[in-house]
Amino acid sequence: GEDVIERLKWMGSVLAPVLKATIEEARKESGRGVSLKPMIAQALTMGDEAHNRCNATTSLLIRQVVPFMLKSGLDRKMLFEAAKFMNENNFTALNLGMAAAKAMSLAAHDVPHSTLVTVMSRNGTDAGIWVSSLGNRWFTAPAPVPRGLWFPGFSEADANPDIGDSAITETAGFGGFATATAPAIVAWVGGSVQSAIEVTNRMYEITYAKHKYFQIPFLNFQGTPTGIDIRKILKTGILPKINTGIAHKKAGVGQIGAGTVSFPMEVFRASLKGYVDKYGV
C-alpha cells in the first residue's frame, strides 16, 4: 500500500543516512564499527533467540548506537525520527542480525567436500538451500505453510507458503535453533517451554558443532547447535526447524500470525545427490 511506499522512502532519506553516519562515527572510535556478533551472543542470554524474539537484541543495539548517532552532528529532527523508529520496533535488530548471520555462514562457503548448509531461504513459493562444497547452486522444493498462532480473524486457510530470508539466522546457529534461550517465545509461535527446549536439543542431532559464542543459559551455557549437515538430516530424518512470521496469501494484508516451519526434506535429498554427482561418493 501507499503507506509502505512512504515508509520505504523515509528509510532511504532519513534512516539510512543516520545509520551510515552512526557507523562512520563508531568506526572512528573503535576501528570496527558496530559490533553485532557480541550483541547477538549477549541477547541469547537475555531471553531472545534473535529471530522471532528480538526485544533484548534491539535494546542492546540502541544502547550501542545512540551515542554515535548523537555524535554524528546530523539534524536533530532526523536523529529523533530514526531513534523513535528503532525504539518502537522490537524487530529493529533483526535485519542487522540477518546480515551478520549471512556474513558468518558464508565464511563456511566454498569449502571442498563440505556438506554443511550455508544458506537457507524462502520466497513464498519455494524453499531453497546452498551447500558449502556445491557453490551457488540452489536446491529447491515447494515452500511449506507454517504452523503457529494466528492473529484474530485469521487461520491456516489464509496463510501464504513460508516467505523470507530470515532463515539465515538458523543457518548461523541462532533463531529457531536457539529456541531454548527464549521461553517467552512460546506465547508468540505456539508450543510450550518444554517443547522449545526439545526443538533445540533435536537440532544438535543434525549439526556439526556447538557454537563457541552463542550459548544457552538453560543448558548450562552449552553452545547453540550450529552447522547444518545434510548427511545428518538424511540419516536421522530430522529437519531444520525455523521460527517465522506468517504472511497472508493476499498481497497487501501483511502478517497474520507467527509460528514454526520445517524445511522440506526434498531439498536435502537433492543436495546430497548433487554432492554424489560432483564427488562420486
End-to-end CA distance of the chain: 51
Would you state the pLDDT for residue 226?
A: 98
Residue whose C-alpha is closest to residue 61's, from 106, 5, 99: 99
What's the pLDDT tens digit per position in 93-134? 999 999 999 999 999 999 999 999 999 999 999 999 999 999
Residues of the chain with pLDDT under 70: none
Report strand pairing: 163-164 vs 117-123: antiparallel
Would you state the pLDDT for residue 30?
A: 85
Would you state the pLDDT for residue 176?
A: 95
Would you state the pLDDT for residue 4?
A: 87
Would you state the pLDDT for residue 141?
A: 98
Q: Do residues 171 and 132 make contact, with C-beta atoms less than 8 angstroms apart?
A: no
The amino acid at residue 158 is D
Domains of the chain: 2-99 (no CATH), 107-279 (3.90.1700.10)
What's the pLDDT tens digit per position in 207-236? 999 999 999 999 999 999 999 999 999 999
